[in-house]
């Protein structure tokens, strides 16, 4: 038996009558923090793992620490009928998890590697509760602990999973979608503003919302210069207070990008507009580096103007796209074919 302890960024939710509930052999979201599509995907992958490796891997989310995960392992009969069993228990209130397992000696190294791969976590925010878990068969499971599907705010992004990529980029859509549309843009760039109206909005409504593509935003200062860098930092800091505030800021900065109000001192205005704590925004700015990371990534791809759309396919291949609706739609349809 071995135990692996790791830190998981999750928001506290209510646990009710866990012991009395029937135990699913693979996924038990007692704390209610898993978005339904990803919970279903995870269950499918764990069932496939059971067939291929004769291993029962069971996930349970609890909002409070259980005094003995080993006891749960025994009570829930994890691994009975299999060569080995693994129980992953996530405590949402303490933001920690435990893994308890019984493995045959000759299989332990191989299975441990599989588990480590499945639970390869990427923390993308030190204070907000986003955490990605990379699952088997390259399925990405999103633990969106700020907002579940039935708690999404009203507005243009209601019902769309909001998350951040492995390097922190702000993303919308089903993480299991086969293609990511990456957009390098500047809020003050006139062509970017038109691109948002003609392409970004319908892209999100028609393809991202339907789970066919991911939309990934990247700050890339051109026309807006330092003001766009500042806006990108504020967008990141807004997300530390409310997950959806990042996308509210995204829309807000585009709206004022063509006005004289768009400058390097937009903190108070953003706080007022989105009902955020201005002092927390100011405190966050010195450590908000995503805009700089986005720029470096753009340079590595050869971005020299905005807007610059790219397509990232399964496996990581990233290719430049023309700035027109037909080219982007064609790439999405081919990826989903």
CATH code where residue 79 lies: 3.10.310.50
Q: Give the whole-angstrom CA distance, residue 43 versus residue 231.
A: 39
Q: Are residues 190 and 312 in the same domain?
A: yes
Where does a domain end: 125, 144, 163? Answer: 144
Tell me, what's the pLDDT at 278? 95
Tell me, what's the pLDDT at 193? 95
The answer to whether the Cα torsion of 186, 192, 197, 201 is positive or negative is negative
Where does a domain end: 114, 144, 174? Answer: 144
Q: Are residues 172 and 298 in the same domain?
A: yes
Domain annotation covers residue 248:
yes
Tell me, what's the pLDDT at 156? 85
pTM above 0.75, yes or no: no
Q: Give the structural domain span for 260.
A: 154-335
Q: Give the whole-angstrom CA distance, residue 78 versus residue 87.
A: 7
Domain annotation covers residue 149:
no
Domain annotation covers residue 229:
yes
- What's 288's DSSP letter? -
Beta carbons within 8 Å of 279's beta carbon, 6+ residues apart: none
Q: Are residues 214 and 309 in the same domain?
A: yes
Q: Give the whole-angstrom CA distance, residue 223 versus residue 276.
A: 27
Q: Give the whole-angstrom CA distance, residue 320 versus residue 303.
A: 9
DSSP strands (E only) in 193-291: 214-219
Q: Burial-class residue 240 by CB neighbours within 10 Å (0-12, 13-18, 19+).
A: buried
Residues of the chain whose pLDDT is less than 50? 1-20, 105, 117-152
Q: Are residues 48 and 165 in the same domain?
A: no
Domain annotation covers residue 136:
yes
Q: Give the whole-angstrom CA distance, residue 137 versus residue 229.
A: 37
Q: Give the whole-angstrom CA distance, residue 159 versus residue 210.
A: 10
Where does a domain end: 122, 144, 166? Answer: 144
Q: Are residues 221 and 272 in the same domain?
A: yes
Q: Are residues 55 and 102 in the same domain?
A: yes
Tell me, what's the pLDDT at 2? 31
Q: Give the whole-angstrom CA distance, residue 268 versus residue 274.
A: 10
Tell me, what's the pLDDT at 234? 97
Tell me, what's the pLDDT at 146? 30
Tell me, what's the pLDDT at 21? 56
What are the respective helix, strand and coil percentages of the chain, to the nearest 5?
A: 40, 20, 40
Q: Are residues 129 and 238 in the same domain?
A: no
Residue with tokens 């039935």: 150
């Amino acid at each position: 038996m071995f135990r692996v302890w790791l830190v998981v960024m999750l928001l506290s939710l209510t646990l009710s009558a866990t012991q009395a509930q029937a135990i699913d052999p693979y996924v038990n979201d007692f704390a209610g923090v898993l978005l339904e599509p990803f919970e279903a995907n995870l269950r499918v992958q764990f069932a496939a793992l059971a067939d291929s490796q004769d291993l029962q891997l069971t996930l349970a989310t609890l909002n409070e620490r259980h005094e003995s995960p080993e006891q749960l392992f025994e009570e829930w009969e994890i691994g009975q009928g299999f060569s080995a069993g693994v129980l992953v228990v996530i405590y949402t209130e303490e933001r920690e998890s435990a893994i308890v397992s019984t493995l045959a000696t000759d299989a332990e190294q191989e299975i441990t590697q599989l588990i480590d791969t499945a639970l390869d976590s990427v923390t993308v925010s030190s204070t907000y509760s986003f955490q990605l878990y990379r699952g088997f068969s390259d399925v990405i499971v999103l633990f969106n602990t700020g907002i579940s599907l039935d708690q999404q705010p009203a507005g243009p992004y209601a019902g769309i999973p909001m998350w951040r990529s492995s390097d922190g980029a702000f993303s919308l859509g089903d993480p299991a979608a086969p293609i990511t549309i990456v957009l390098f843009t500047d809020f003050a760039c006139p062509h970017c503003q038109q691109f948002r109206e003609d392409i970004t909005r319908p892209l999100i409504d028609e393809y991202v919302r339907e789970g066919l593509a991911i939309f990934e935003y990247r700050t890339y200062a051109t026309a807006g210069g330092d003001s766009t860098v500042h806006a990108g930092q504020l967008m990141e800091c807004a997300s530390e207070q409310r997950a959806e505030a990042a996308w509210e800021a995204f829309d807000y900065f585009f709206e004022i990008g063509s006005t004289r109000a768009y400058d390097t001192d937009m903190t108070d205005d953003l706080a007022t507009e989105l009902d955020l704590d201005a002092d927390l925004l100011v405190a966050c700015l010195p450590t908000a580096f995503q805009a700089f990371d986005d720029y470096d990534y753009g340079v590595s791809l050869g971005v020299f103007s905005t807007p610059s759309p790219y397509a990232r396919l399964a496996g990581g291949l990233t290719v430049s796209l023309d700035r027109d609706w037909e080219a982007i739609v064609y790439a999405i349809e081919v990826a989903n074919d």
